[in-house]
Amino acid sequence: GTAQGGLTYSTGKSGNAFTFNGSNAYVGLPNDSFNSLTGDFSISMWVNIVNTTLQGLFSSFAYDGSVFYGVVVSHDGYNRFQIFNGTGTPITLQDPNPINYGVFEHLVVTRKSGTGTKIYRNGSLSNSNTNTNNPVYSAGNMRPVIGAYHYGPLFSNLIQYYAGNGTKIDELYIWNKELTATEVTDLYNSGTGKFYLF
């Protein structure tokens, strides 16, 4: 990834973490690099959230003025994951428990293709659904980022919903498999020692 805007680094869960400024900081990832997230996949990260405003944590997202594509991990007081399948309506899964601000928490989303999605917090399952819709991507238009929503060239490359001033993201990993509940717990427990386990 490439640091953009006023991105800085400060003490994280392991070494330094990406630290955002709420106005123009994000990490830009290679175009279309996550278009393969249509089958089984998982996204894991440690996050330290500072306020309730809508903030993008990870997105591989595009909008053409009428329909949406891709996936987004975000929060607006509650962690949530959205799948966009080339329609005007996202499939949303939200953690029903409000965020604890100013501390690192472990967030994991797992997806079983055509079967459903789970969201975990601090090693435990928080919510799940059985929605069969898989994400759809618009080739050549996806702009994956950490710390914001990037709408892509279909919508003038608008960037919105920056991670808040002081919000931190650390140890972000993406797998092309559905992590098991045991693997999620192991990842959470590794927060006191080593991190990348598998």
CB-count exposure of residue 104 (10 Å: 0-12, 13-18, 19+): buried
**Residue 181 backbone dihedrals phi, psi, to 5 degrees:** -60, -35
Give the model confidence (pLDDT) of 67-100 as tens digits: 999 999 999 999 999 999 988 889 999 999 999 9
Residue 195, pLDDT above cutoff 80: no
SS3 assignment for 2-71 = EEECCCEEEECCCCEEEECCCCCCEEECCCCCCCCCCCCEEEEEEEECCCCCCEEEEEEEEECCCCEEEE
At residue 141 the predicted structure's pLDDT band, cuts being 50, 70 and 90, is: very high
Give the model confidence (pLDDT) of 3-53 as tens digits: 999 999 999 998 999 999 999 999 999 999 999 999 999 999 999 999 989
**Token code pair at residue 157:** 């490359």
